[in-house]
Amino acid sequence: MTQSADRLTSPAKRNGKSALATLASNHYVLTALSAIAFVALWQIVSMNVPPIILPSPAKVAAAFVELTASGELIRATGQTVWPFAVGLSIAFVIGTSLGLVLGIFRPAARILDPYIFIFWSIPNIAWLPLFIAWFGVGQLTLIVFVFVSAVFPQLLTVEAGAKEADSFLVEVARSLGGTKSEILHIVVLPSALPYIFAGLRIAVGRALVGIIVGQLLIVATGIGYMFQFYGETLSLAKYFAPLIVIAALAVALNRAVNWAEHVLIPWKPRAFT
């Protein structure tokens, strides 16, 4: 890692750095500085507009503490995370396995791909009324909606990855005596792994949109409902609390996916670190 960083830094820059420059180049120092700058900017703007437009950071913090202490925010987070996790997990498992199958058995893909593409092209919000008719106003509808939001990007990305397996490596494995299932295990799966993560990254984002939209528009629970309620009642300070939770959740999930990718794919040289 340091090696490639060195390559990108000119010798002149590396030598004769001032203490301040060294401090400023520290990742954590930079992050802290930018956070302070952000809150300061927020404070300045909030002092110059009515609180109905933008509450001050202190008011938002107070509302966050209040909602956490009352248990409302924690309960809502649970109500959101649960159907989100279930729907996303099912989408990941089905999307990945079906994507692999379709990537490898091209005749099956030629039959199914058009349907998958049609379903993928329909904006998922259009499904929501139908799911309510089918599954009622409850958890099941949310789970199905999250699933439908996440499964297609996972499936299509993994399918593309499995299809792209290097035909030369397949030939090498065949020359060594590899059977179909051995080749699947030794060549196709590992070469699809980066695509599995790429798909997951998109799927996580879509599933988050799915759960919030579902709760905001229809099922009236969880974080999504908090947006709707505090938005409609113009309690903006409280509106920001669920927003912070969702942002934290999204960042944490992204970090987790990046970390898993880094651990599970150690064989790739990285162009940028």
For binding to another protein (CB under 8 A), which residues are involved?
168-169, 171-179, 182, 186-187, 190-191, 193, 265-269
**Least CB distance from residue 177 to another protein, whole Å?**
5
CB nearer to another protein: give 165 or 213: 165
CB nearer to another protein: give 158 or 207: 158
Which H, E and C letters describe 98-137, residue by residue? HHHHHHHCHHHHHHHHHHHHHHHHCCHHHHHHHHHHHHCC
CB nearer to another protein: give 132 or 265: 265
**Least CB distance from residue 76 to another protein, whole Å?**
42
CB nearer to another protein: give 86 or 169: 169
**Least CB distance from residue 74 to another protein, whole Å?**
42
**Least CB distance from residue 197 to another protein, whole Å?**
14
**Least CB distance from residue 270 to another protein, whole Å?**
10
CB nearer to another protein: give 54 or 198: 198
